Structure 1
Amino acid sequence: MSVLNSVYRSLFRRTSAFTLTIVVGAVLFERAFDQGADALFEHLNQGKLWKHIKHQYEQKDE
């Protein structure tokens, strides 16, 4: 119960701290979700994306 009480006192008691907690949480969640979705997309499309096959189509200048 002490942990919940200290979390409440530090993050949720004042409106300004509550708002800051929500904004920071949203930004961190967005970053983590975006990176996770990009990693999943690249894993599922391995070998199909341009960066994986461009060496087959590029001409070397000699």
Structure 2
Amino acid sequence: MALVKSVYNLLFRRTSTFAITIMVGAVVFERAFDQGGDAIFDNINRGKLWKHIKHNYEQKSEE
């Protein structure tokens, strides 16, 4: 209960800090959701995407 009260006093008591908390939370959630979705997509399509197969088609430069 002390943790909930301290979080309330720190983040949600004033309107300005509440608004900032919501904005920062939205940005963090968006980044995490986007990276999680990309990771799942890459895992499902492993071996089919260009970044996974480009080494098969690149020519090595001979110097």
Quickly name the TM-score band, shorter chain normalised. 0.7 to 0.9
State the partner residue of 1:13: 13
Find the residue that maps to 2:51 and give its secondary structure.
Answer: helix
Distance in 2 between residues matched to 1:13 and 1:57, nearest whole Å: 59
Report deviation, 1:56: 2.6
CA deviations 1:8-61 (Å, max 9, x no partner) are 111111000000100111111111111111111101000000111223333445
Structure 1 unmatched ranges of 5 or more: none
1:29 equivalent in alignment to 2:29: yes
Give the aligned CA root-mean-square deviation in angstroms: 1.3
Structure 2 unmatched ranges of 5 or more: none
How many residue pairs match? The answer is 62
User: TM-score when scaled to structure 2?
Assistant: 0.83
State the partner residue of 1:45: 45
